[in-house]
Every structure is written in C-alpha cells, then in structure tokens.
Structure 1
Amino acid sequence: MTLLDIRGLTLRTTDGTTLVDDLSLSLARGERLGLIGESGSGKSLTALAILGLLPEGITATGSIELAGTQIVGAREKHLTRVRGRDAAVVFQEPLTALDPLMRAGRQVAEPLRRRRGLKGAALRRAVVDALEQVRLTEPDRIARSFPHEMSGGQRQRVALAMALACDPKLLIADEPTTALDVSVQAEMLGLLDTLVRERDMAVLFVSHDLAVVARITDRALVMRSGRAVEEGALLDLVRSPGHAYTQALVGSARRLESALNLGEAR
C-alpha cells in the first residue's frame, strides 16, 4: 500500500524561479528511499514540502498525498493533524529544531501531550521511555537539560525521540548525521536503522553522501538542479549508474564498499 505518493511536484519562488521541477516518487509503508543530491538540488525543499513546511515565498504545485491526505493546498489545521502522526522529520542540525530556552523533556513531552493526550505521571514516564529508546544514558538528567548543556549527539537523539514519540508512519531524515563526527555518525545510523526496523516505518533519507544513504536505504532517487535524474535499487545504481551525475557520485563516495556490505547484511 502506497504511503507517500508525489506526482508532478514543482516548487517555485515568487519571482518564478523553479527550484524543483516535475518531481514524482512513491514510498510504501516500511520502505526506505534515499533522496540524494548536492546542495541546491531541491532534496531538502522536497522534504519540507511533504509536511507543508515550505519557507515563505515558495509555492508548490502538483500533488503530494501522504497517508490519504493531500498536502498541496491543504489548510494548516489539516497539516497539523498530519505532522507527528503520519510523518515526522529529523533535521541536520538539532539546535535549529530544539528550542534553546526549553528543557529537553518538555520538548519531547509536547507531541505526546498533543497527540496522545498524556499528562501527569504518565506523560513523565513516556518522556523517559522515549529518551531511553534512543539509547540516551541518564534520561532523567537529559530531560532536565537545556540543549546547550548536551553534546551534538545527545541533541540529535533528543530530536529523534521527538520525531518518533507518536510512532509516525514515515520518518523524514534530512541529513541527520552530517553535523556529527564520524564515530557518533556511525552510532546514529545504526540506531536509526534499528528503530525504524522495529517500528516497520517508512524512511525518506535525504543526503548528499551516497555512502551514508547505503547504510539506511534500499532504493534511491538522484536529484540534480531540481530534477530527478535517476532512480532505482541502490545496489543497481552503484554497480551500473546510468546518468553521468550518478556516476560522479559513485566515483566520489568514500567508505561505499563497507557501507554496502553492511546493507547487504541487514
């Protein structure tokens, strides 16, 4: 059953500049798709469009159907119901996603309160559980901490706990490990792989790094200058890239062989 169906998505600025041009893709429940491209290719804007979070001055045409809800042209009250329940997002830099003036526990509690109606002791227990599920040690201390009192890896785990709190059907991961060092990045990718597998969630993993995408996804769509240039099973794209840009990505990807070996072992 199709969970996400995008048809002819076009994103333009108010002055008529086309940022994403006639993009189509689909994603079934439990499926993992990598959206790959260099900076400015339109991949992150596509991710934002799925949740109706486009910046002011950018308009969408075409169709984005998420779990039966049409996103393009939807009213904010309808989009609010979709966010967190049907899809949630983890961004590259958690400092932009977390409120610097709010303790981590309160931020994780917000979707649990709004979506599940939890309060009191049940809410506090659910917050600790959510932090434990993303493998945060001392979850009670983390819940009392402000973002600046945590490491980058801890902040990203808190952001992931927020995204997963209400068990969305689709997790959008927009360059979630780029700001982390190599060892922490590997830990986060392993954790993400485990958590989405346990929940049978669909994943749209946005990245410029083919080796990172190979750790998480089974299929990939390559974007360049706002257009999809190639799509297929990840192993096929790596072994027989058809487009010149895909060939360049494969040629420049580091750690690709080990990443693919890990992927095949999943």
Structure 2
Amino acid sequence: MTVLDVQGLTVRTAEGTVLVDNLSLTVGRGERLGLIGESGSGKSLTTLAVLGLLPRGITATGSVELAGTQIVGASEKQLTAVRGRDAAVVFQEPLTALDPLMRAGRQLAEPLRRRGLKGAALKQAVTDALEQVRLPEPDRIARSFPHEMSGGQRQRVALAMALACDPALLIADEPTTALDVSVQAEMLDLIDTLVRERDMAVVFVSHDLAVVARITDRAVVLRAGRAVEEGPVLDLVRAPGHAYTKSLVSSAQRLESALDLGGTR
C-alpha cells in the first residue's frame, strides 16, 4: 500500500527561484526511503512540502498525496487533520522543536488527547509512550522541562510525540545529527525497532550516507534540488553511478560499520 506518492514536486520562492525541481518518489507501508544530499540540496524543503509546512513566500506545485489526501493546495483544516494522524516528523534539534516553557509530559499529552484520551488513561499513555522510547524514570522525564534533559532524552521525547498517534509515515529530518556518536547509534537502533514493530513508512533525511545506509532500504540522492540518482541503498554504496553519489560514498567514513557490505540490512 502506497503511503506517500510525490509526482513532479517543484518548490519555488516568490521570485521564481526553483529550490526543488520536478521531484518524484513513492513510499509504501513498511518501506524506508532515504533522502540524502548536502546542505541546500532540497531535502528538508521536500519534507516540509509533504507536510504542508513550507515557509511563507515559498510555494509548491505538482502532486503530493499522503495517505489519500492531496497536500498541494489543501486547506489548513485538511492539513491539520493529516499531521500527526497520517504523518509526523522528528526534527534535528529537539531543543527548538519542543516548547521550552512546557513540561515534557504535557507536550506529549497533546497528541494523545487527539485519540480521545483523558484523565488517568491519558497519564498512563504518557508514561507508556516514554517507556516505549526507552526513557528510564518516565515520571521524572514527564515532569521535566526540555532544558532539564540531555539532548538524547529530548530527542526521545520528540520521537514519542511523533509516534503518539500511530502515523502511517514518520519523517525523520536529521534526527541524530546533534547527538554524539554513541547516543546517535542508540537513537538509530530505537527508530529501527519502533518503525519495524509498527510497520510504518519512513522518510529519513540526512547528509550522511553511512546513517542512511544503516536505517533505510532505498535512497534518493538530491543535488541542488534535483534527484540525480536513486535505488536500493546497497546498490548506491557498492556501485554509485553519478559522480556526486561517488563523492558521498568516498566521504562516508563509517560505511563499513554502518552495514555489512557482504549482506543486507
């Protein structure tokens, strides 16, 4: 079943500058797609277009169908219904993604209320969600403000919020970049486990081919807003066809530890 179907997506500024150029991709239930490229390649703009969150003055044309809803041209009411229910996102820096003036438990409760939970059932659901992302002392974390938690703890809270409504699609936009290497590995393992258990579709955004190789099945390589190559991750690693992909492979110092090149993910 196709969860996300993007056809001919073009993103432009108000002045007409093309930022994403005629991009097409599909992601089915249980599939993991990587979007890889350097800063400014159009990765994050693509994911923002999928969620209808493009900044003011930047517009999208083409088709973006998410779980049966056409995103391009949709009303804010339609987009609000889609976000969280059909798709959710984990951003790079949770300290800016989370409300600094709100305790973690209260923030996590917001999407859970959409599922009709309240009272004791809501409180228990918050605890369960924090436990599912392997946070020790979930009650203490629920009472904490973002600045009272480590970067890894904040990112786990953000992941719990994204998964709270069991969306069909998880968008992970550089979710481990701000974390140190050991915490990054734990976060990738956690995402891998949770999306596998839920049979979710995933779009994983990164500039790091080693990270994409570890977590995804297929990848689209973006350069200056255009897809220059796509295919199974192992094929792109073993036999990159485009010069830009070759440069990404040569610069990825952790590929051998990210996956067994003699096997499959």
Residue type at the aligned position of 2:184? Q
1:120 maps to which residue? 119
| Deviation for aligned residue 1:263 | 10
Count of paired positions: 265
Tell me what 1:56 maps to: 56
Please state if 1:135 is matched with 2:114: no
Rounded to whole Å, the distance in 1 between the matches of 2:193 and 2:264 is 13
After TM superposition, give the deviation of residue 3 of structure 1 in Å: 1.0
CA distance in 2, matches of 1:42, 1:191: 26
* 8 A Cα contact 1:214 1:234, kept in partner: yes
SS in 1 for 2:101: coil
Q: Deviations over 1:195-254 (max 9, x none)?
A: 000000011000000000111001100000000000000111111111000000001101
For residue 43 of structure 2, what is the amino acid of its counterpart? K
Partner amino acid, structure 1, of 2:56: E
The one-character-per-residue Cα deviations of 1:21-61 (angstroms, maximum 9, x if unpaired) are 00000000000000000000000010111110111110000
After superposing on structure 2, the runs of 4+ consecutive aligned residues of structure 1 that deviate more than 3 Å are 262-266
For the residues of structure 1 that align with 2:128 and 2:76, how far apart are their CA atoms?
A: 30
- 8 Å Cα contact 1:30-1:202 kept in structure 2: yes
For 1:109-188, list aligned pairs within 5 A: 109-114=109-114, 116-188=115-187
Question: Separation in 1 of the partners of 2:16 and 2:34?
Answer: 28
C-alpha distance in 2, partners of 1:58/1:264?
42
Distance in 1 separating the partners of 2:62 and 2:96: 29
Q: Partner amino acid for 1:29?
A: R
> CA-atom RMSD, angstroms?
1.1
The within-5 A match list for 1:3-82 is 3-82=3-82
CA distance in structure 1 between the partners assigned to 2:5 and 2:146 by the alignment: 35
SS at match of 1:180: coil
Task: Name the SS of the counterpart of 1:177 in structure 2.
Answer: coil
CA distance in 1, matches of 2:172, 2:130: 18
Contact (CA 8 Å) 2:209, 2:255: kept in 1 or not?
A: yes
| Partner residue in 2 for 1:225 | 224
Q: Which moved more, 1:232-241 or 1:253-262?
A: 253-262
Aligned partners of 1:214 and 1:263 also within 8 Å = no
Question: Structure 2 CA distance, aligned partners of 1:245 and 1:265?
Answer: 23
Alignment partners' CA distance in 2, 1:187 and 1:36: 21
> Structure 1 43/198 Cα, relative in aligned 2: closer, same or farther at 3 Å?
same
CA distance in 2, matches of 1:144, 1:233: 43
Q: Distance in 1 between matches of 2:261 and 2:125?
A: 33
What CA deviation, in whole Å up to 9, does each residue of 1:151-187 have, x standing for no partner?
Answer: 0000000000000001111000000000000000000
CA distance in 2, matches of 1:34, 1:75: 28
Partner of 2:244: 245
Are 1:130 and 1:165, in contact at CA under 8 Å, matched by a contact in 2?
yes
Find the counterpart in structure 2 of residue 99 from structure 1: 99
Kindly tell me: are residues 83 and 148 of structure 1, through their superposed partners in 2, closer, same or farther at Cα, counting changes over 3 Å?
A: same
What amino acid sits opposite 2:218 in the alignment?
R
- Tell me, in whole angstroms, the C-alpha distance in 2 between the residues paired with 1:147 and 1:77: 29
Q: In the aligned structure 1, how far is the partner of 2:109 from the partner of 2:20? A: 35
Given the superposition, is the C-alpha separation of residues 130 and 264 from structure 1 closer, same or farther in structure 2, using an over 3 Å criterion? farther
SS at the partner of 2:219? strand
Q: Do the aligned residues in 2 keep the contact of 1:113 with 1:123 (CA within 8 Å)?
A: yes
Flag the 1:223–1:199 CA change in 2: closer, same or farther, 3 A.
Answer: same
TM-score, normalization by structure 2: 0.98
Unaligned stretches of 5+ residues in structure 1: none
